Structure 1
């Protein structure tokens, strides 16, 4: 029997505005426009051959980085935490590899059981040092109220690995509206939002997005580094980075 699938249209593209607002110890903001893919990891888009360099999906870009398929890496990570999907649908929001380059600051996986029920959300975070870390969030992570999890991974060189993330990660529909807040001792230090509107993932919409945002993932990586240099020049001290230990299931 075929497993139940959620009532959602995939694949889709979301032209998006990403905003970072820092409030302490100095106030600063960064905005960047890009586009994100929303896909079923078991039914990844098959593009016409001339367009394939504009969107490639590979298990090597996620989790342990040694799996041919994205789902294999995800299930190894979940299994190490006692979570089984039993073949249920997995929906992913993130960037594809573009012209040989990929950088995914945040990739989200909405993981369902065979009956279509949401079992968990996995937030996979990449930093600019080539490291990855995942946060396993229970079903209320997809609600409008959000969920909290302790910060465990070095991302910005200006924030210590301390505090708590509050994440609001509703599954995209006609609109994409995500928010991640970093809080410490009841003080909100940083907020990242991602907002966009759904577009059908046609060849025309992909070409339009690629024309508006050429080398999209490289541009995101460059924008983050440029912003970091600006903060450093403004006198914001750098927090030393400890050695990263890959999580169980991500080695």
Structure 2
């Protein structure tokens, strides 16, 4: 039985992307992700805060306010509740944990953030996979528990080399001593081999001040590096004459 990881925690990760059609192309890089409780965000000393900020407005859409003239200070839980409301589903009222990138030196980029939503008895009820593209867009997929792969239709433009068609197979078990999340893109249901696979795998580290500081040397400016690497791979695909799909 999987023992759920404590929060907050850090996972030193290895991310792999593999494209199989119409050309073969793959790459891998190392980074790190935070594992947090959305209601108990990590509290860091002042000298580390620039390297790990957790802003609710970095995720999802701002929920509607009854008073549009007032400033909205929606929490991550509030924003998640709006996602469930959009699907006419009641959000579980227990712990919500998340695997995501923090804002580092004012910059954040979360290609994939995963939220595990539990009921008050601790049972996992839903997984929310939020995808960001490099154009500033974001989309949330509301899924059932994903210890085994679950399927959802693709509804969001992510890569300039992939149409908004087909479906994703998502496997996102709750993190323990390891985290292992896989998303594969399939164009035809009869084709069991995916067109594209992305995997994030990593080992648990305690979110101590020392560990946070160490990560700034091992993977400095992590969100910026992730965004840069994705753009570099896009240029490589363009140079290989892979057709671009307009937004």
Taking structure 2 as the reference length, the TM-score comes to 0.91
Q: Deviations over 1:136-186 (max 9, x none)?
A: 1012x1x1x211111110001001001110111011100011111101121
Q: Distance in 2 between matches of 1:234 and 1:80?
A: 40
**Match among 210, 232, 239 for residue 238 of structure 2:** 232
CA 1:215–1:53 in structure 2 vs 1: closer, same or farther (change >3 Å)?
same
**Match among 128, 133, 140 for residue 134 of structure 1:** 140
- Whether 1:48 aligns to 2:54 is no
Q: Distance in 2 between matches of 1:13 and 1:47?
A: 14
RMSD between superposed Cα atoms in Å: 1.3
Q: Distance in 2 between matches of 1:220 and 1:128?
A: 10
Listed as ranges, the matches of 1:70-219 within 5 Å are: 70-85=76-91, 87-139=93-145, 141=146, 143=147, 145-185=148-188, 186=191, 187-219=193-225
Aligned residues: 233
- Whether 1:27 aligns to 2:24 is yes
Q: Distance in 1 between matches of 2:196 and 2:17?
A: 7
Q: Given that residues 110 and 223 in structure 2 are in contact (C-alpha distance below 8 angstroms), is that contact kept between their aligned partners in structure 1? A: yes
| Residue 56 (structure 1) shift | 0.5
| Residue 85 (structure 1) shift | 3.2
Taking structure 1 as the reference length, the TM-score comes to 0.90
Q: Distance in 1 between matches of 2:73 and 2:109?
A: 18
Instruction: Return 5+ residue gaps in structure 2 as ranges.
Output: 63-71
- Whether 1:37 aligns to 2:40 is no
| Residue 80 (structure 1) shift | 2.2
Q: Distance in 2 between matches of 1:12 and 1:160?
A: 35
Q: Deviations over 1:61-83 (max 9, x none)?
A: 00115654211111111122222
Q: Given that residues 92 and 125 in structure 2 are in contact (C-alpha distance below 8 angstroms), is that contact kept between their aligned partners in structure 1? A: no
Q: Distance in 2 between matches of 1:227 and 1:188?
A: 19
Structure 1 residue ranges (4+ consecutive) displaced by more than 6 angstroms after TM superposition: none
Q: Deviations over 1:181-237 (max 9, x none)?
A: 101121411000001100000011111111111110000000000110110011101
